[in-house]
Amino acid sequence: MKLGFLGPEGTFSEQAAITYCAEAELVPIASIEEVADAVESGEIDEGIVPIENSLFGSIIPVLDFLIKAEKSRIKFELAIPVEQCLISEPDMDLKKITRIYSHPQALGQCRAYLANNFPGVDLVASLSTAGSVADMLLSEEPAAAIAPYRAAEIHHATVVERGVEDGNSNFTRFAVLGHSDHTPTGHDKTSLAFWFSSDAPGTLYQALGLFSNRGINLSKIESRPTGESLGTYVFLADISGHRNDDAVSAALSDLVEITSKLKILGSYPQMPDMRSTPTD
């Protein structure tokens, strides 16, 4: 199986890919969007993408891709603990640093640390955390990077400080994308997106009540612009249960009747509760 991940080697996405299926042929890909596109086109069999971080929230490009994707579905989820490190060239004088590279998500996870320790320093987006170390080493200005410990080892750089993320319980949830979702396991989650043709009081309340009335837990809900016009949104929700479960199937059938469009993003095994402190 060809399993795509956000490369290069040394990213948290690679760690998640190995955790999910170490026997797969791992294919590093330059950006999250390109991983998703490779799944959709069939270039790879499955792709693993970050979908949510406990400190920084949802990974918006992945949500927007799932809304528009025609073939791709979520078939599995897993979470890994995330420890961000401040990395520099050997013997770098930190007071001279004028630029810090990292993926935007990592910069967001370390916002308070960076503001307190490097005020006024330019924060530069890289395609990946591991790639930010390479960017730092090529920088013409004194620079550092925010990246995993392994990325420093790969590039023979120096780990100045470990655990620089803003919080001691930093996890990233990853979604495995494929052309089908998972068969029922008895402990599942279903992700869905739905639209309303018009905005009216109580519309969303009515929709969510379809799950509450059947004892179906709603674990997450958020909205994204449809891109069609200002002020129009698509709602994304995670619910407990598989789409083929009797109660979930009945609720989804009723939801079709009150929405203009309903899309099942996938049913898949629900991962254990990750509300604990990550360890090395």
- Catalytic residue numbers, as ranges: 172, 174
CA torsion 255-261-265-267 (nearest 10°) is 20
Distance (Å, rounded) from C-alpha 50 to C-alpha 58?
Answer: 9
Distance (Å, rounded) from C-alpha 232 to C-alpha 273?
Answer: 33
